[in-house]
Amino acid sequence: MTDTILSVNDLCVSFDTESTALNVLDHGSFDLMKGKTLGLVGESGCGKSVTSMSIMRLLPQPAGKITGGVITYDNKVDILKLEGSLLRNIRGNRIAMIFQEPMTALNPVQTIGKQLLEIYKLHQQELSKQQSINACLELLKRVGIPDPLVLLNEYPHQLSGGMRQRIVIAMALACKPDILIADEPTTALDVTIQAQILELMKSLQDEMGMGILFITHDLGVIAEMCDDIVVMYAGRVVEKTSVINLFNNPKHPYSKGLLNSIPTINTVKRERLQTIAGQVPSLAEMPNGCRFQNRCPHVEASCAKQTYQLSKISEQHLVNCHKWELIEHA
């Protein structure tokens, strides 16, 4: 596979607490293709954001530790081994990130112009000041800001949430990155604005051909945006497949439960929604074996003895459940 742009292999992350080290991410593996969108779905606390922070090397220090695994950029560079200027050449330049909350991602005491120009100052030093300003204006126009020249002198608090998110996207795309990590980019926005932002991201992707790692818990957004999906649960990847496969033919009991529990426009009014009983076990008290066992309708004694592995259903469909065939036939 030549067009893999980012490959994460057996990534393990643990966080030190006062008493123990919590295993937050356990052997996470996935590949992101050039020009494609990979969705990372899961509930809060399942390790989605930790994954993206590890790729960006932004884990809080010294608590967060990458205890194993490899993250390869463009089939050659191991991101986890980079330091100093080599890391800076990639981070923000080749791999950029859009954060969830646009207000906290922007500096409140600097104008938008200053914050945008900083990127050119750091990553594209060959440009003159006037050239950088022109590039900024071009970029702002591209993300759909009506009056970019005025905006350069404004502060983040003067803008609406949608506008701020557009700025954050503009910043991420300033260096035309190969990989864009979008960590819940529309969760803080209204549905109409969300639709606008998603549309913008899609058209920018068509134009620039970057691979997008799209992190969200909203399955509607996933269906709208992604080509492939990784479903995460309690720090582990439980299912990996194409978006069509996941929605039409989910194999892991958790994916099934998740898909059944969302009310859609087509569900019958006031019919009881299916739920996944119980809750995610806390990281400190993770059971042995399958981590979904306490909520799984198909649980049996052998589930507690399974070591973590993904069973292959087809070339494009992997699932972390040793019983998937039995469940299928039942």
Partner 1 sequence: MPREDILRVVGLTKYFPVKKQSFFGGKLTLKAVDNVSITLKQGETLGIVGESGCGKSTLAKTIARLITTTNGKIYYKNNDITHASFKQLQPIRPSIQYVFQDPYESLNPRHTIQNILEEPFLIHTKLKFIERKEKVEDLLHKVGLPTDCLSKYPHEFSGGQRQRIGIARAIALEPDVLICDEPVSALDVSVQSQIINLLMDLQDELGLGIIFIAHDLAVVKHISDRIAVMYLGRIVETSTTEELFKQPQHPYTQLLMNAIPNPDPTKRRTKKTIKGELPSPINPPLGCNFQSRCKFETKQCETSDPNLSNRMSTSTHQSACHHTDLSTKEWESPWEF
d(CA 238, CA 214): 17
What is the sign, positive or negative, of the torsion defined by CA atoms of 97, 98, 101, 102? positive
Residue 233, beta-bridge partner list: 236
Pick the closer one to partner 1 by CB: 118 or 218: 218
Q: Which of 16, 190, 325, 328 binds partner 1 (CB under 8 A)?
A: 190
75 lies in the site for partner 1, by CB under 8 A: no
Tell me how far, at minimum, the Cβ of 161 lies from partner 1, in Å. 8
Rounded-to-integer distance, Cα 69 and Cα 77, Å: 14
Does residue number 199 form part of the binding site for partner 1 (CB under 8 A)?
yes
- Calculate the dihedral angle through the C-alpha atoms of 303, 306, 308, 313, rounding to the nearest 10 degrees: -70
H-run or E-run covering 13 = strand 4-16
Q: How far is the CB of 45 from partner 1 (least distance, A)?
A: 9
Shorter beta-carbon distance to partner 1: residue 43 or 74: 43
Q: Which of 107, 134, 220, 328 binds partner 1 (CB under 8 A)?
A: 220
Q: Which one, 2 or 266, has the nearer CB to partner 1?
A: 266
Please identify, among the stretches 72-80, 81-89, 109-117, 255-263, the one whose residues bind partner 1 according to the rule CB under 8 A: 255-263
Cα(226)–Cα(36) distance, integer angstroms: 8
Within 8 A by CB and 6+ apart from 55, the residues are 6, 8, 71, 79, 95, 181, 213
Residue owning tokens 């008493």: 19
Smallest separation, CB 129 to partner 1 (Å): 32
Q: What residue type is assigned to position 329 of the chain?
A: H
Q: Please select the residue that binds partner 1; options are 7, 29, 43, 82, rule is CB under 8 A.
A: 43
With CB under 8 A as the contact rule, the residue among 4, 72, 196, 306 that binds partner 1 is 196
Which residue shows structure tokens 């194999």? Answer: 251
Stretch that binds partner 1, among 49-57, 67-75, 84-92, 241-249 (CB under 8 A): 241-249
> What is the pattern of x (binds partner 1, CB under 8 A) and - over residues 264-303?
xxxx-xxxxxxxx--x------------------------
- DSSP bridge partners of 66: 13
The answer to the question of residue 154 lying near partner 1 (CB under 8 A) is no
Q: Which of 12, 66, 223, 310 lies at the binding interface for partner 1 (CB under 8 A)?
A: 223
Interface residue with partner 1 among 109, 191, 301, 330 (CB under 8 A) is 191
In the chain, alpha helices (H): 48-55, 84-90, 102-105, 112-123, 129-142, 148-151, 161-173, 191-208, 219-225, 243-248, 253-261, 324-329
Q: Which residues bind partner 1 (CB under 8 A)?
A: 43-44, 144, 160, 162-163, 190-196, 198-199, 217-224, 226, 243-244, 247, 257-259, 261-267, 269-276, 279
